[in-house]
Amino acid sequence: MLSCFGLHADEMLLAFAVWLCSLPLIAFMVIPLFGLGTAGVVALGVLIVLMGICWGACGWKIGHDNSEMKRNQ
């Protein structure tokens, strides 16, 4: 899809879009209960979790792609 950004960049963009869409939910739920500082920490935590999931998925895909290429040679 977005080959100009490199391998599997579309997963990273999807994770970023999910994070952006989750920010209003975090704002409506966390800011009234715990405050702005806690909401920032929660938003950062969600970003780190999503990037970790993306890193795992991309790593699995790259490893899986490499093993298929070795089998086909």
> Rounded CA gap, 41 and 66, in Å?
37
pLDDT for the residue numbered 20? 96
> Rounded CA gap, 72 and 61, in Å?
16
pLDDT band at 60 (very low <50, low <70, confident <90, very high): confident
Name the nearest CA neighbour of 15 among 46, 59, 41, 40. Answer: 46
Does the pLDDT value for residue 25 go beyond 90?
yes
Helices 9-34 and 36-72 pack at an angle, to 10 degrees, of 160
pLDDT for the residue numbered 1? 47
Taking residue 71's Cβ as centre, other Cβ atoms within 10 Å add up to: 7
| Average pLDDT of the chain, as a whole number | 82
pTM score, whole prediction: 0.70
